[in-house]
Amino acid sequence: MSSYIIQGGKPLKGTITVNTAKNSAVALLCAATMVQGVVVLRDMPRIQEVERILELLASIGVKFSWKDKKTLQLNCSGKLHMETIDKRACRNTRASLLLLGALSARVKEFKLYKSGGCKLGKRTVKPHLFALEKFGVEVASKPGYYEVKNKRQRAGTVIMYEAGDTPTENAIMAAVLTPGRTTIKFASANYMVQDLCHFLISAGAKISGIGTTTLQIDGVKKLKKTEYNIMPDPIEAFAFVALGVTTNSEITIKNCPLDFLELELEKIKIMGQKFHLSKERKSKNGNFRIADITLKKSQLVALPDKISCQPFPGLNIDNLPFFIPILTQAKGRTLVHDWVYENRAIYGLELQKLGAEIYLIDPHRLFVEGKSKMMGAELMCPPAIRPAVAVLIAMIAAKGKSLLRNCYPIERGYENIVSRLHDIGVDIEQVN
């Protein structure tokens, strides 16, 4: 695993461009197995999470090739050999669960090895199973793997047990090739769910209600070959916004999907952050509003109340950790409530080692006291993508030398992060 050496506390300047969305990419890769033909995915991020999914797909017989650095062609028309599925790739990414819905109409029986991914406490798969069983999918938990049996599929009404992103995606994929009309209620309307729906429509699916919590899906017999541009990543976009705000720098973040950032931007605006939006336009796939965000030097004050997260259109669950380094530079005290995962709020305490005044109330809540003077330190990278990037942001803001060890969690979700940070003046070196 690589480590990063950072000489922090320096103002940044210049422009950084947002790449395409990790969570969209992995969902579309799994959904490609529903198309018995050629699928071309453009602007595919070259990140470790994508590599793990490609290893997984290759192990079951999916053919793929890179047409250029960012264009991936897949051919899923051949027989899928589930008996040779890559155990290691399954265990290294929780996104492998998306094969439950994607293969529900194509493979009668298979084993899917239990997954890993970010270490965020106990994360139940029950919401996936409750939704999929409505379509005739039976999943039995065995030691180390799931035993999947796909019976005769049936349409109907699916009430999501929780508005989770991947459970909703599994339900959507199962419904697309199920005869009849399926209504999914209390669905996630988050960015990757919308991107998946638009991709499936491009392949011939019939889906209405995109962007709402109620979806109607009329099943089709098969999906056709398609080409699709993956949307920009709102989580990466806000990570770069948080970096600029925490370092009090004047930088421009290009290619930001506004529909999934408006509440986060409103929060920092209330805190006193100055910025302006420019060049509003449509994304390459034509489905999302895009703009460039330019940050100005600002003096921050704490929010007048606590900050928490909610399913879309609330403040994005994955963006909440980025507020912790921001709040270290805001005058006053703020309560951060990270209620979704059992352990994620605890990772915020890592910033104490840099001099931040952060106090844990319980496993889900902490106080951040600003304004803190942070100094460099040596830390282990948290084993979860977003908290890991929050620590990196704080190190870039902290004066002096920092060493962040074992940075694989960051590289799971952020492509060429070191060279891109160099471009806006971050003094960072990657070492093995």
Q: What is the pLDDT of residue 120?
A: 41
- Chain centroid offset of residue 408 CA: 15
Domain final residue pick, 229, 248, 269 = 229
Upstream peptide bond of 185 is cis (omega within 30 degrees of 0): no
Q: Output 95 or 165, whichever has higher pLDDT.
A: 165
Residue 422: band (very low, low, confident or very high) from pLDDT cuts 50, 70, 90: very high
* Integer Cα distance of 300 and 271 in angstroms: 5
Mean pLDDT of the chain: 94
Residues 10 and 135 in one domain: no
End-to-end Cα distance, the chain: 6
Residues 247 and 222 in one domain: no
Give 335-373 pLDDT, tens digit per residue. Answer: 999 998 877 889 999 999 999 999 999 999 999 999 999
Nearest to 3 by CA among 380, 383, 420, 390: 380
Cβ atoms of 44 and 72 within 8 Å: the answer is: yes
* Integer Cα distance of 417 and 429 in angstroms: 11
Residues 268 and 170 in one domain: no
Read out DSSP for 234-296?
Answer: HHHHHHHHHHHHHTT-EEEEEEEEGGGTHHHHHHHHHTT-EEEEEEEEE-TTSSSEEEEEEEE
- Determine the average pLDDT of the residues in 96-104: 93
Residue 402 backbone phi and psi in degrees, to 5: -125, 150
- Burial letters 343-354, b for 16+ CB under 10 A, else e: bbbbbbebbebb
Q: What is the pLDDT of residue 168?
A: 97
- Determine the average pLDDT of the residues in 1-15: 95
- CA atoms within 13 Å, Cβ hemisphere of 383: 9
Domain containing 132 — which CATH number? Answer: 3.65.10.10
Residues 237 and 217 in one domain: no
Q: What is the pLDDT of residue 151?
A: 83
Per cent of the chain over pLDDT 70 is 98
Range name among 101-110, 241-250, 399-408 with the lowest pLDDT average: 101-110
Domain final residue pick, 174, 196, 229 = 229
Nearest to 295 by CA among 270, 278, 276: 276
Residue 95: band (very low, low, confident or very high) from pLDDT cuts 50, 70, 90: confident
The CB density around residue 175, as the number of other CB atoms within 10 Å, is 32
pLDDT at 247 over 90: yes
Residues 160 and 246 in one domain: no
Look at strands 157-159 and 206-208 and give their pairing: unpaired
Residues 197 and 279 in one domain: no
Residue 208 belongs to what domain range?
Answer: 22-229
Q: What is the pLDDT of residue 121?
A: 46
Residues 335 and 242 in one domain: yes
- Number of domains observed in the structure of the chain: 2
Residues 272 and 413 in one domain: yes
10 Å CB burial of residue 260 (0-12, 13-18, 19+) is buried
- Determine the average pLDDT of the residues in 227-256: 98
User: What token pair was written down for 130?
Assistant: 């409750």
Residues 10 and 77 in one domain: no
* Integer Cα distance of 420 and 432 in angstroms: 18
Domain final residue pick, 229, 251, 270 = 229
- Determine the average pLDDT of the residues in 9-32: 97
Residues 134 and 158 in one domain: yes
Residue 247 backbone phi and psi in degrees, to 5: -90, 0
10 Å CB burial of residue 339 (0-12, 13-18, 19+) is middle
Read out DSSP for 81-112?
Answer: -GGG--HHHHHH-GGGGGHHHHTTTT-SEEEE
Q: What is the pLDDT of residue 432?
A: 86
Give 194-234 pLDDT, tens digit per residue. Answer: 999 999 999 999 999 999 999 999 999 999 999 999 999 99
Residues 245 and 338 in one domain: yes
* Integer Cα distance of 366 and 358 in angstroms: 7
Q: What is the pLDDT of residue 119?
A: 47
Q: Output 154 or 217, whichever has higher pLDDT.
A: 217
- Determine the average pLDDT of the residues in 286-313: 96
Give 117-133 pLDDT, tens digit per residue. Answer: 544 444 578 899 999 99
- Determine the average pLDDT of the residues in 276-281: 98
Q: What is the pLDDT of residue 344?
A: 86
Residues 203 and 97 in one domain: yes
